[in-house]
Amino acid sequence: MNIKKQFKEGLITNNPVLVQLIGMCATMAITTSMFNGVGMGLSVLIILTCCNVVVSLLRKIIPGEIRLAIFVVVIAGFVTIVDLLLQAFVPALSDALGVFIPLIVVNCIIIGRAEAFCSKNGVAASFIDGIAQGLGYTLVLMAMCFIRELLGSGSIGGGLIDIANGFRLTLDGSGAGIQIFPSEYGIMYMILPFGGFMTLGALIALMQYVLRKSAEKKELKEAQEVNE
């Protein structure tokens, strides 16, 4: 078990959205304000960690043929719990995300990790994996929100930060965010579906560029060492 390596994989080299290319529907749909992005990211993080632990605990009992059905039932259970908790305690988030909270059930990240990691690894490693992958997902959502919100409506941290009554965090989605430029000068298209596709495309391209460059650098270095 290597905690540092797992976090590096979750955040960068094996990031669920940017490298594994899964769980993209929600990534593009809800990233219109920072409040939605952070809320969705944290919900997925919690569900992913819980499911990872349970699946890893059950991995020796579950028969191979029906494992997917069992994973789905476990996931649906945790999603229902989180859905009900959000409806009770953070209704603003529940309203803003709408069907995308119950749709976490079919988010490929969770079933993907259950299949690829937890059915082969121990409980502690699966727990760390859930947190690392969940954080990687949350960071991508936050980056998407930052770009789309800033370009689309000229603000940062909409729903999450309130500066009208002193700088504070609002957890009920009431904060207006920090206005960088007046919202009527924003590119409205960035908030619309078009902006979702474009921003994610650009982010994945950036990630591929960075990974390719670092791989080339590594090769160059090894070649030099061989020459010396």
The residue ranges that bind another protein (CB under 8 A) are 21-22, 24-26, 28-29, 68-69, 72-73, 76-77, 79-80, 83-84, 98-99, 102-103, 105-108, 111, 189, 192-198, 200-202, 204-206, 208-209, 212
**146, 129 contact by CB (below 8 A):** no
β-strand partners of 178:
156
Return the number of the residue (27 or 49) whose C-beta is nearest another protein.
27
Q: Which residues fall within 8 angstroms of residue 85, CB to CB, at 6 or more apart? A: none
Among residues 13 and 170, whose Cβ is nearest to another protein? 13
**C-beta of 42: minimal distance to another protein in Å?**
19
Between 178 and 204, whose beta carbon lies closer to another protein?
Answer: 204
Instruction: Provide the sign of the torsion angle of the four alpha carbons 56, 58, 64, 69, taken in this order.
Output: negative
- Cα 17 to the center of its chain, rounded Å: 7
Q: Are 93 and 35 in contact (CB under 8 A)?
A: yes
CB of 23 to another protein, least distance (A): 8
Decide if 160 contacts 35 (C-beta within 8 A). Answer: yes
Nearer to another protein, 101 or 161 (CB): 101
* Nearest approach, Cβ of residue 94 and another protein (Å): 12
Closest approach of another protein to the CB of residue 187, in Å:
12
